[in-house]
Copies of this chain bind each other. A is one copy, B any other.
Amino acid sequence: MNMNRGNMNNAHPRRMTQQRRAILDAVARLGCHPTADQVFEMVRREMPKVSLSTVYRNLGILAEQGDILPVRGYGDEVHYDHNTHEHYHGICRICGRMIDLPADTVKASAMSDEWRERDGFEAEEIVVTVTGICSGCLNATQKG
């Protein structure tokens, strides 16, 4: 998906270490937008000597390479998303889970045009974060 890995000019040849692979794997396998600490706990099961700083370092590198997507704005921690396609996030205020909401890019672009015309702001990246109630918690509520 990202063949280039941010290594445009051979200046910083990245090595695919066991740790980096395990960390990328953990983000993908955990699925639900884990924080650095959650990734750490996951990786350390199979690789007990891994350090938290290695996890932070690699999450940063992987994000820089575009292999994962950092998600800020919910709580204090940064979450990481293995889904690098454009999409939005919904956070359930009951269970706290973060879910992916497929983006209708059309609408975001439409707003983008308005901002340029009305406010002179040239939008480059649009992040939408929605708080609400997920389907699971909605069902639970309706059942009693």
Chain A residues proximal to chain B, CB less than 8 Å: 72-74, 76, 90, 92-93, 99, 101-102, 104, 107, 110-112, 114-115, 118-135, 138
Contact = CB atoms under 8 A, between A and B. Distances in A.
A111 B111 CA distance: 12
B123 A132 contact: yes
A124 B114 contact: no
Given A124-B130, A127-B128, 8 more contacts: A76-B76, A90-B119, A104-B111, A121-B132, A123-B130, A126-B128, A126-B131, A127-B129
- What 7 pairs between A and B have smallest CB-CB spacing? A120-B135, A73-B73, A124-B132, A123-B132, A125-B131, A122-B133, A72-B73
